[in-house]
Every structure is written in C-alpha cells, then in structure tokens.
Structure 1
Amino acid sequence: MNVTGDQALVKKLNKSIVLERIRLHAPLSRAQLSSQTGLNKATVSNLVAELITEGLVYETGLGESSGGRKPLMLLFNSRAGFVLGIEVSVQYIQGALTDLAGAIEAELVLPLGQHDPAFVMEQIRKLVQQLMQVTPPSPHGIVGIGLGVPGMVDESGTVLFAPNLGWEEVPLQQQLETELGLPVVVDNEANVGAQGELYYGMDGEHRQLVRDLVYISAGSGIGAGIIIDGKPYQGAWGYAGETGHMTIDWNGRSCTCGSRGCWELYASEKAYTAPALSLPAHSTAKLLPFARQGDADTLSVFRDIGRYLGVGITNIVNSLNPGMLIIGGPLAEARPWLEQSMREVIDERALPYHRRQLQIRFSTLGSRSTMLGAAYAATAPFLGRVRVSL
C-alpha cells in the first residue's frame, strides 16, 4: 500500500525536523542544517525564516567560514513560550512552570486532603491559575499543560483506573481542556517520569546512547516508565508499566487493585502502614529526619524496602534487559539507607548476563521527574512533532 502526504504535511514534517535539530544541536548555520537534515538550502532558508517570524529561532553572531562570508548562527528561543507540568499524587499535587527547554520558572505544591475527582480538579485549577499569574511575557504564552497521574490512562486522556486515588473512568483531559481552554496531555506518572529523565535528566550525549531504559517511580505506589529503542513503550492498549501490581507474594497483603501480594505493598510508602510497624510518619519526607538521626526502626524499614525494591527490579531486569534503570519518586530521597540492600538482592538474583552492563541510577531530578516529564509531554506537540503511522 502506498502512503502519501500532501504538501502541508511534508512541510510540517520538515519544519519539525529543522526546529528539533536547532533545539538539540545549536548553534547551527543554515548550511549545516541543510547538510545534516538532507533538505536543500532553499527549503531550509524558508523554514528558518518562518521559525524566526514565529519567535522560536533567532540569529546570533557569526560562525566559522568555509571560504565565503561568515554565516549567521541559529539558536532555539526556549522562552518563546511556557508550559505547565503537573504531578497528581496521593498526598499532593505539584506543578512547575517551565520554558520550552524545561528550565523551571516557578513551582507550587498543594495538599490533597481528599481524592474525589471534583476536589482534585478544583486543586488543579487553583495550581494552574497561580502559576499562570507569574508567567513571564512571551510570544506564545502558555502553550500547553501536561499531567502525570498514578493510574492507567487511555489515548484520550481518560484515567481508566487509579486504585490509589479510587478513580475509574475520569475524563481528566477533556474536562481540563474545556475549563482551561488550553491543550492538555494526560499520561501515567511513571511514563512521563521516564521522559523527564531521558530529556531533562541527562545530557544529549548520554541520551543518544541510552536506547532502552526503565524508570521506576517509587512513592505512594510504584509504576514503571519504559523506553524501548529510544521511544516510550506503552503496550498493546497503552497500559504497560503497572509493575507495582506484579505479585511478589502469592498469599500476601490485600491491595487496592483487588489482588494480593503486590510489589508496591512492600517497596513503596505503603510499607510504612504495614500492621506490624509503628513508625512516626507515613511519608518518606517525614521519615528522613529520623533516618538521619539513626533511628533503628526507620533504618530497618528502609533496608527492608531496599530488599523488596531489589526483588521487583530483578524481575524487570530479567524480563526486559534494559541498558539503564533509574529509580525516582519520593523513595529516591532515602537512597543512603536503602541502596545497599537493594543492590545486594539484585546482585544475588538477577541473571549475570542481564546485569553485566546494566546501569542502575537514582534520579538526578529527584521528586521533579514526573513534573518535568509532564512539561515535556506538553511541549512536544507545540514544537510540531508529527506522528506518521503506516
């Protein structure tokens, strides 16, 4: 079957290619863009002129001459617009106003005292309104909003099932777009967290080398964002990555998902509420001071959580054979007290060829991975990325 596109689609594709090249590899001249993209010089010049008119690209200085006049160099204008990246968690929502390169302009955290969708929507609106008030002037203003939520999300941005929030069939994207009048992208929080790590958590050189990555979001629950061959992997129907609900104890504790013995009951903040424990707090942030003081009960719990993290990570490593695995979310802040026991289990149980070149890292973005990944998810459509399905 032959697949063709009209001139408008071809132009949009070419324009996206040129902008992406400038964004990732600037400063570049027009001649360099032509050479690197394979587009002829006239096409590049016309597309660059449009991008300059739109405020997305600007000229600066003079580059090295190859024999003629010194060329003007092109740079990406990351402050041509702004986006909002939002993470909806069980205990809070946090949001960041970023420019088009992920630089944070402002941040805000609001508590979630309840999980009723109407209440959460109201908190999201408050957060958006407060961040919009501090948005600097720019040619394009706020160009989109991205949200990461702890649950299964379909292509229309409907939260199908979020057991930790008690949600089913919540059309979050549709409601927010109607009320806010802006493009909205909604995805699973670990999926966007993986994109945050890939695009904002490592430099371009490392990003090109990492083709297969798993990001583990460990907080009030556990989820996994999976990158395969440089692209997000979401499964046949978009629900891949619900690793927190793989069974590690066939007759274990009951889970809100309806099953038993799920990984997240033992390797997330849910472990703090186990019947046999009596801890002074039920969130990682509140437990960290006790760990720093050497509280024996807190240290013991973190070591156990590390072991259980190691068990689940071993299953993922043996199944997917990723090149890199990154641990993020609130529990990443407890790295000094859980990493050793986690690595001991992985070294003991993961298949030797699978772990031989495996890189295991803790997030460089800390608790911001999902928030920044959501911002990236809102930025990409504005910058003109076009999916072509054959």
Structure 2
Amino acid sequence: MKKTTPQTVKVMNRELIINELRKHPKQSRADLAKKTKLSKPTVSEIVRELIDEGLILEVGVGESSGGKKPIYLTYNSRFQFVIGILIENDTIHYALGDMNGEIITSYGQKFPRYSEGSAIIDTIEKQVRKLLEAERITFEKILGMVVGVSGIKMDTEEIIRSSPTIKWGNINLKKELSSRFNIDVIIENDVNLMTIGEYYKGQGQNTDNFVYLFIGNGIGSGLFLNKKFYKGANNASGEIGFMMIGDRESEKKELGVFENNYGLIGVAQRLKELNVRIENDKGDSLLEILQNNQHHPKVKEILDDTIKHWAKAVINLISIIDPEAVILSGELVNMNEQSMNYFKETIERYVPQMPEIKVTTLGIKAGIYGAFHLALTDFHVAGFKYKNS
C-alpha cells in the first residue's frame, strides 16, 4: 500500500466535498462538515480553494438559527463539459453535456449512406468546432469525448469492424479524433451506449436484468445483468445481427445474416422487389409505410414476416438470459397496436417466462446519456486533484 501523505489526504477530502455537493446541492459549510465528518476548519479551507478554482459556487443565504446566516454552496456543473456523439443509421447526433450528465445542446446531421470514414471524421471535426464556438467554450474546458458507432469495435488496434453504413477501412477513429482535438476520446458501440443510457435515465432504471433491442439499418442489443453492463470477452456481446435468422445469407461481410434479412436495409430491398405502388406522403418510417400499405397482400406478407422474425430474436434472448424486461428502440417504437400485439403474442407463445416489454421514452437520447455517463466515469474530473500536488 502507498504511504498516506498530507497531499493524498487533501485530494480525498476534496473528492468528498465535491461528490457530496454533486449529489446534494445547496448545502452550507456546516452541512458539509456534518455529512463528510470533516472538521469545520478543514471544510472551510477546501471550500475556499474550490470557490477560487471555480468548482464550487455560492448560491444564496439561508435563514439564521441564532448565529451567522449560512451561505449555501453548489457544485459548478459547468466548470467542465463532455461531448457525446452518436452515429446512427444515416445521421450523426452531436451533444454537449455538463458535469451532471445533462444535455446543454444537441442536434443531428444527415450523411450519405456508405460514406468513407475519412469524410465522416472531417464532418465530425467541423461540427464539433462549430458547436463549441456557438456555446463559447474552449477545448480546455472539455473533459473528453465519447463516440458511439454501429458495428463491432473493435480490436486492440481500435479498428471498427462490420459497420453497416460507413466504410471505415483501417482508420483508427480514436487516434484520429484525439489528435485533431487534443482531448481524451472513447469509441464505443452505439447500442451499448443506448443500453447504458436507459439504465441510468430511462426504462432500465431500477431494473437489475434487462435486454435493450435496437432495430435500424443494423440490428443490435445490449445487456444489463445483475446491475452490471455486460460486454463479453471480445466486446461483442449483444451483436444479435449475426444470429442465423432468415433465409438469405449475408452477401456483405459487414452485415450479419439476421440484419441482412431483417434490418431496415434488407426489408427495404424486399419491398423494392415487389414493384407495388407504395403511398408515403408523410415521410413515414419504413415500418409505418408497411403498416399503412398492408392492404396489399404482398406488403402484408413482408410486414408479418418481419415482425415475426424480430420476435424470434427476442425469444432467443429471453430463453438464454431470462431478463426482467426487454426495452424496444429504433424502428420497433413505430409498431402500431396491431403489430405490437402480434409481436408480444408471438414471443409469449414460445418463451418459458414472459418479461415486461417496454418501449424507450428516450429514443436516440439514450445513446447521448450513455456517452455522457461513460465520459464522467472514465475521464479525470477536474478538482479531484489537489492543485499543488
């Protein structure tokens, strides 16, 4: 064990005070002394330093209980910031978050399907600089960036494998972005981030074991088992797009058999082959188009077949994991009442125990919140290090 020094003790005490104010804002110095069990002089000295550094703010005066009026303190959640980026289907989603993991601003930008990885990186650089400039924030204030991408990440060289919409090639995305921005960067699977976001902010709260299922151009799932996110031996757990579900084997090495048949690209291709006039005046999703045109027997056949095979994947997952809940996202949120009933009935017919079926309320924001959580967990938070150490 390392020898405890006055400096390490001070670092620990700073961390105690900062974490207490992050969890419970608007406390006085006396409140902090009681909660942290530190002496009042120690608390006063550390609070003074943290106020000087900008990590703590004085936010008002309380009522006196006979002596001096207490001054309330709070953690300055905008002392630093995190950037979350989610690349999903044909859209790059950008978000800036504070140190409480809340979204300050966010927006999405479309890109052409099958773009080159280098073009995507150029776009990300341009948009991130534009975002920070609009918010008048310098890179010195950025704790780090987390980027969610479709496909399997990811070997020891940080090369992205099997992405359904981007030609990454041998680009090391983490290295490229780190060098362009000079900040810490984490690259993570997009569905993994969504799963983490649901656990902390969405339908996965207070649920120990659940499956998150995303249907888009690709198909993926995320797992929380015994309150812990499960990634697998090679960071590829939940890659259910590679399940052997569907008659046609994958013709593209970047797609698994299941997503080749029943991801949005595969279903759209089958619809295109029908040569049936399809009504879509409202810019609906692919599933909504199928549901709105199911008076055509062939369209109805594709719709029912698609829903049935999506249900088959859930049956397989439930049979192995026995989760408390399955959270649906992506194209699954567009199921109408008839489709949802067929989906649930198909599952219930075959599983040993039916879990609760939930629909995400966060949508794409689940991935952003997951990115923020990962950044705040993995990156060094300013203030936890004593400035003279």
- TM normalised by structure 2 equals 0.78
Deviation (angstroms), 1:333: 3.6
Where does residue 187 of structure 2 map in the other structure? 186
Contact map agreement 1:222 1:264 (CA 8 A) in 2 = no
- Tell me the alpha carbon deviations over residues 151-195 of structure 1, each in whole angstroms, 9 at most, x when there is no partner: 222487823412413445431011111012222221011111112
Where does residue 387 of structure 2 map in the other structure? none
Where does residue 370 of structure 1 map in the other structure? 367
Deviation (angstroms), 1:271: 2.1
Where does residue 83 of structure 1 map in the other structure? 82
Alignment of 1:318-357 (within 5 A): 318-334=319-335, 336=337, 338-352=339-353, 355=354
> 200, 208, 211: which is aligned to 1:211?
208
In 2, Cα distance between equivalents of 1:118 and 1:226: 31
Where does residue 121 of structure 1 map in the other structure? 121
Contact map agreement 2:50 2:383 (CA 8 A) in 1 = no
In 2, Cα distance between equivalents of 1:66 and 1:318: 61
Aligned residue type for 1:22: L
- Considering only CA atoms, is the larger Rg found in Structure 1 or Structure 2? 2
Between the two proteins, what is the percent identity of the paired residues? 27
In 2, Cα distance between equivalents of 1:324 and 1:44: 44
Aligned residue type for 1:272: A
Where does residue 314 of structure 1 map in the other structure? 315
Contact map agreement 2:57 2:74 (CA 8 A) in 1 = yes
Where does residue 267 of structure 2 map in the other structure? 271
Deviation (angstroms), 1:61: 4.0
- TM normalised by structure 1 equals 0.78
SS in 1 for 2:214: strand
The alpha-carbon distance between structure 1 residues 281 and 128, as it changes in their structure 2 partners (threshold 3 A), is farther
The alpha-carbon distance between structure 1 residues 98 and 10, as it changes in their structure 2 partners (threshold 3 A), is same
Deviation (angstroms), 1:310: 1.8
Please say if 1:231 is aligned against 2:228.
Answer: yes
The alpha-carbon distance between structure 1 residues 271 and 291, as it changes in their structure 2 partners (threshold 3 A), is closer
In 1, Cα distance between equivalents of 2:372 and 2:14: 22
Aligned residue type for 1:375: F
Where does residue 57 of structure 1 map in the other structure? 56
Contact map agreement 1:93 1:112 (CA 8 A) in 2 = no
Contact map agreement 1:196 1:370 (CA 8 A) in 2 = yes
In structure 1, stretches of 5+ residues that fail to align are none
Deviation (angstroms), 1:219: 0.9
- Tell me the alpha carbon deviations over residues 10-63 of structure 1, each in whole angstroms, 9 at most, x when there is no partner: 765665565444334434555665666676766666555554444343343466
- Tell me the alpha carbon deviations over residues 208-261 of structure 1, each in whole angstroms, 9 at most, x when there is no partner: x22333322221111122223333221223222212212234x54325347864
SS in 2 for 1:22: helix
In 1, Cα distance between equivalents of 2:36 and 2:141: 29
Contact map agreement 1:288 1:334 (CA 8 A) in 2 = yes
SS in 2 for 1:174: helix
Alignment of 1:1-390 (within 5 A): 4=2, 15-16=14-15, 18-28=17-27, 48-61=47-60, 71-100=70-99, 101-137=101-137, 141-154=141-154, 158-164=158-164, 165-201=166-202, 207=205, 209-249=206-246, 252-254=248-250, 256-257=252-253, 261-262=257-258, 265-266=261-262, 268-274=264-270, 277=274, 280=278, 285-287=284-286, 290=289, 293=292, 296=295, 301-334=302-335, 336=337, 338-352=339-353, 355=354, 358-380=355-377, 381-383=379-381
